[in-house]
Each structure stands twice: as C-alpha cells, then as structure tokens.
Amino acid sequence: MELHGKSIIGSKTAISDGSRSFYAVTAATGEKLSPLFHEATTAEADEALSLAEVAFREYQRQPADKVAAFLDQIGDEIMRLGDELIQRANAETALPETRLIGERTRTVGQLRMFAELVREGSWVEASIDRALPDRKPLPKPDLRRMLIPLGPVVVFGASNFPFAYSVAGGDTASALAAGNPVVVKGHPAHPGTSELVARAVRAAVEATSMPAGVFSMLQGASNQIGLHMVRHPATKAVGFTGSLNGGRALFDAAAARPEPIPVYAEMGSTNPIFVLPGAIKKNGNSIAEGLIQSVTLGVGQFCTNPGLVFGRQDENWKLFVERAAQLANGTAPGTMLHQGIASRFQEGAGILEAIPGVSLAGKSSVAAGKGCAPALVFTTDAKTFQERNALREELFGPATVLVNCGSIQELEEIARTLPGQLTATIHGTEEDLLQYENLVAILRPKVGRLIFNQFPTGVEVCPSMQHGGPYPASTDSRTTSVGPAAIKRFARPVCFQNFPDAALPVELRNKNLRNIWRLIDNQLTRSDG
C-alpha cells in the first residue's frame, strides 16, 4: 500500500495546502523515510471534529451488535495489512518484529474484547427503581439510570506502543465501544504506521456502513494542532499516554475551556520496588536478574519500567547491588524509539551522575551508538534521595537507581514521600510482610497496582487490571486505561424519570430484551423489570 502522508478526515484524504511538513525517520540511523508527511491545519482539525459531532448523533444510536461488528472489522482490517504494517513499524520505531507481532495481537485482542463487552451489554450499569405511587408521605417516582456516551473523543497516539496505545489502541477502542466518534492525533515518531492503521479503520467504517465522521486521524509534528483539538468545542474527552509535561499541558488546556472536559492522561511512573531483607537473603541473585531484565525490556521504554529500588543496607544488599551492576555491564545497548527519546535519556542520565552522593555502579560495557541507550544502574543513599528531587523523576529508558536505606523507618519515610505511581512492588517473604506490614499500608493509597515477588513490566489485559494511579501517574486515579473497565472513562450516567416504557432505551425497558445484568429495586438480576 503506497503511503500518501496526509491526514484522514472522515471518508476523505486531506488535501495538503502547503502547511508544515515532516519526514518519518528510521530509529536506528535517522535516515528519512518516504513519503513527506503533511501536518494537519487547524481548519482540517475543525473539519474532523465537526464531522465527529455530526456522526455522534447517528453513532450513539447504533445497535450494540452493529458497533461490535465494527470493532471486529477494525481488527480484521489491521490483520489484513500483514507484514507491511510490521515492517513499517519496525523501521520507524526499531522495535523488533517479534515484539510488534505480539503488540498487534494485543491490539486486535483489545478490539475484540470491547466488541464482546458491547454485545453482552451489562457494561451500561442499568439500574431500575420502580415507582411506588402509594408510598407515604410522598410517592416514589419511576427512576431508571444507565451509562451513555460523552461525544467526540480526541486520542493521542503514544510513541512506545505504535499499535496498542495509538491509532486503534485501547483509548480508541474503548471510546468507540462506548458510542463515541474518535479523532486521533497520530504520533510523529511513527506517522507511516499511523496512516496504515488509520486506513484500516476507515476501511472498517465503510465495510460496516458507519457514519463517515466516526473516525479521523490527523498527522502533525507540532504541539499546536493537539492543543487546538483539545480546545475545540466539539471535543468531550481526551485520551493520552505519554510524558508528564505533555499530559499536564493537555489537562490544563481542557480545564481552561469555557466547558471543561475530562482528560484521561497516563503519564508514567518510577514504579518503585522494595526488596525486603528476607527476600534478598534468600533470593538476592534471582531478584537482581529479574530486575535487570525488567529494566532493560524494550530498552526500558515502558511506563511500568522499575526506575527505583529500595533496600536495607547490609552485606546481602551489597551483594545484590554488585550482581545488578554486573548484569547491567553485560547487557548490550539498545536502539530507542527515536532520536529525541535517546537524547533525553542521555541528558537525564548525565544529571543523575552529576549529583553528589550518586554513583554509577553498572553500565553496558559495549559503547552505545547513535540513538542507542546503555543499561545503567545508579546507587545512592536514603539521605541523598530525600534531598534531590531529580532522583524521583522518571528517566525513560533502561536505567534504575538503587537506594540504600539504614532502617525500616527510612524505608517507610521514603514510601510516604513518594508521588503517585502506576505500580509499587514488594519482594519479601511471609515473615518480611509481617514485619513490614506498615509499608504495604503506606504504599496502597499511592499506587494503582501493588505487586508481590514479581516485576511491574507486562500489563495483562483483563477485567482485574488497574492501569492508572494517583497524580502524577495519571490525571484520574479512579479509572484504568487497560481492560474492559476503560470503557467507563468515555461514558456518563443519565437518569430517566417517569418515562413511558416504549420511549426508554432498550436497556431500561421492563422486558430485558438484551438479557443483561440490571439492578432492579436494589437486586442484581437478569429478570424482566
């Protein structure tokens, strides 16, 4: 499929008017990749969002089985792209083809998961409280409540997941599943990949006869077009995965609108690991091996990368640090997603190494080439960690900081002062957990996911997964961006009072035509109302 390098606005391809343009480049060498990509203009963004606003009127009324068929069709169209999609993503991101094939499977699986969720239908949380006209002193009205879609959603593609968190990733899939049109801002680090997937989504729109404006994808290398999309009055919610600075800028722009809207931004985390004395004595070597594998997986370019490790300073901790450093020394540098990320990693590592009291204990022994990052293991003590804010900030890449603590009290004090996180991990024995039970209590309100004797990298797509956490990990710790519960970010409750049965949404009518779970007079049932 020949790429055209332009935005996709509803059923048409944008016509370039000489606005800003840019090339994709190979992550490994910086070589330009054809074609030339044209950044969407504000007029084109306005057109895409106006089309989405019109499409919403029809799309929100589509039967559930038709929406599900649309989601399934998107998955089919993505698979139909075959090797071309994998090869283009590999060139633009340097991610191995095996990783990309797995990520494509996850992306299509997410689409099919939401298709099944929509077909089953209980996600709308239908609740019925029947009238009690004879109740004294006042009669009770008939009240029926369910979730409905918000309206057009703007989604920002992520650099580190060109499929699963991008054009047809989890945010897009969950927003479409809830009944919302989507306008995607493609990531400039992989614009060719974005175009291919966007064309697959458009093919699915046509194959299932969905309204044309239900999906658009805008290209762009600058921040201005994204901010314009967030500020557009048709936009009703935003999904974002990326940096703290980027997510906060979008959040602030959305809050400053005449009509503020929710921004569901997942902005990363240092994902602290606490290695307790019993575990390090019993399994120090294997924990060190698992740590370095986790830190360097995908060249450390995961939002769940463990960037901080805390432990009690003793002889076993010393051996653990030495082993982790040795493993880092033997790990080859890896090519990062793009030159900008590699430059920021190098700059951030330099800042850490220059802090008095911080030592570089381990580093890939092979020199890192252009666009590559070595594995890094830094060490410091609790006092230095508490005094230097730079040590608390995420260094996106294959690096971690091991912090020596002198007592339980120091570990607990550090845990109290940590900002919100996506995850926190504890490695310990059952005896450790008894002795350090207060540590678990301190960590629980600070994270979205608590992990025991495993590592945070790897996010299972299932109903029990929570991917989000207190700020600055995300902008709304009550929601998840992974799993079926993600659909609820793009829906809101509405109550119907005293409506005739025939005028109600099918999910709230007396006869349970969809056989969904409903709360009727405070009893969960699939019975008729």
Q: Is 92 a catalytic residue?
A: no
What order of strands is seen across the sheet that includes strand 518-520? 491-497, 143-149, 127-129, 518-520, 523-525
Catalytic residue among 39, 53, 92, 266: 266
Q: How many CB atoms lie within 10 A of CB 83?
A: 10
Catalytic residue among 53, 92, 195, 303: 303
**Exposure of 135 by Cβ count < 10 A (0-12 exposed, 13-18 middle, 19+ buried)?**
exposed
Q: How many CA atoms lie within 13 A of 291 on its CB side?
A: 35
* Residue owning tokens 């204990």: 361
Length in residues, the chain: 529
d(CA 410, CA 312): 9
d(CA 328, CA 347): 19
Supply the DSSP string of 290-321, one letter for each residue.
HHHHHHHGGGG-STT---EEEEE-SHHHHHHH
d(CA 303, CA 243): 9
- CA dihedral sign of residues 204, 207, 213, 219: positive
d(CA 303, CA 422): 8
d(CA 2, CA 109): 27
Q: Is 303 a catalytic residue?
A: yes
- Retrieve residue 447's tokens: 């994270």
Q: Are 313 and 403 in contact (CB under 8 A)?
A: no
Q: Which residues are catalytic?
A: 266, 303
